[in-house]
Amino acid sequence: MSKHIVVDARIRRAGTGRYVDRLLEHLQKIDQDNRYTVLIEPDDPWRPSAPNFMVTPCKYKQFSFNPLDQITFAWQLYRLKPDLVHFSMTQQPIFYFGKIVTTTHDLTMLRYTRPGRLPRWLHAIRMLGYRFLFWFSHIKSKKIIVPSRFVAQDLAKYQPSTKNKIVVTYEACEEKLAGSSVNPPGVKKPFIFHLGSPFPHKNIERLVEAFSRLEVRGDRLQLVLAGKKEFYFEQLENWIYTLPVKDSIVLPGRISDGELKWLYENAEAYVLPALSEGFGLPGLEAMIHGCPLISSNATCLPEIYGHAAEFFDPENVEEMAKAISKVLDDKALRSKLIALGSAQAKKYSWAKMATQTLDIYKKVLG
């Protein structure tokens, strides 16, 4: 019998939104039996291609602790009369008590958030609300989907009552970027690079320190740090301008797909210094483009990358610098990492993830 499944995709256009975007793409290919309603932001242009999928605008913010929002969002869900709701994040209405599946990407926000532009007292209140919603969403959920065994173990340790609800469905990386490669302004070979906002858990400051410790090279090595220039990027940029190595660090800001493709294809290596990740998509994207990966050994990263990366302790700047030098100086090692990386990235599949998720829906629906 056909069931009505609601998928909360309000986060689709955010940094972690690729997961729900690819889930919807593949669910439309494999499930013609159930009826789906997809919640999207009111200005999101996404539309389904399958006739059993429809969209419903959802005006509520991804992170809202407003009691009125909590009540009216729950009421919107009740009016849809779903048999199951899949929330693609832990932020969900307290007062909805139907059948729920929740995807939890990691526990990073519990450990590494900082106030940003908020006053500290307001940040502390916000984090109390976040921790409660994180805990309560798991209490209500029939199943909790996580992207790695590490996150499964981490969540079970943090919230033991979730242990028997957790299911691992690995994510995947995209195909190689299509189109022409474009050299970003100011970037010259040779260079190493990193893509992403410098949030606290991304550990970019230590990467800059490790770069400054590399032996002086006659070929003028650059460090390229790409990503949208928001609050944390502004702080990072102001600090970099005070350093002796500032002229060797390039911050191109938000880059196009063509520029990203060029960086992957021409970098000496991609460096991922993160203190915490739930899956580690950037490293797999480097691999699929033939870029050697130098990675932190924290959290899930050794699990996801296997033997296809040169690992280092992300809290040890000297060890990070040595790992970078080792890959730059050893052409045989670089070739080995490229070959292993290509094979490793192909182990993961969005189609498989969607099939496993559909199986979870069926089990919860009985």
- Alpha helices, DSSP H, located in 293-345: 301-305, 317-329, 331-345
Q: Is 143 strand, coil or helix?
A: strand
Percent of the chain with pLDDT over 70: 97
In this prediction, residue 116 carries a pLDDT of 64
343 in Cβ contact with 295 (< 8 Å): no
- Whether residue 127 is predicted with pLDDT greater than 90 in this model: the reply is no
Q: How far apart are CA 70 and CA 60, in angstroms?
A: 9
Mean pLDDT, the chain, as a whole number? 93
In this prediction, residue 148 carries a pLDDT of 98
Phi and psi of 300, rounded to 5°? -85, -5
Task: Give the largest Cα separation in the chain, rounded.
Answer: 69
In this prediction, residue 112 carries a pLDDT of 78
Q: Is 105 strand, coil or helix?
A: coil
In this prediction, residue 218 carries a pLDDT of 52
Instruction: For the full predicted model, state whether its pTM sits above 0.85.
Output: yes
pLDDT digits over 272-330, tens only?
Answer: 999 999 999 999 999 999 999 999 999 999 999 999 999 999 999 999 999 999 999 99
- Whether residue 345 is predicted with pLDDT greater than 90 in this model: the reply is yes
Average pLDDT over residues 67-87: 93
Apex 168 CA angle, 286 and 32, nearest 5: 95
Statement: 191-345 belongs to CATH 3.40.50.2000:
yes
Q: Where are the domains of the chain?
A: 4-172+349-365, 191-345
Q: For residue 219, what pLDDT band results from cuts at 50, 70 and 90?
A: low
Q: How far apart are CA 328 and CA 79, in angstroms?
A: 59
β-bridge mates for residue 103, sequence order: 145
4-172+349-365 CATH choice from 3.40.50.2000, 3.90.79.10, 3.30.70.1710, 3.90.1150.10? 3.40.50.2000
In this prediction, residue 1 carries a pLDDT of 82
In this prediction, residue 65 carries a pLDDT of 72
143 Cβ partners below 8 Å, 6+ apart?
101, 102, 165, 166, 167, 360, 363, 364
118 Cβ partners below 8 Å, 6+ apart?
126
262 Cβ partners below 8 Å, 6+ apart?
181, 182, 183, 184
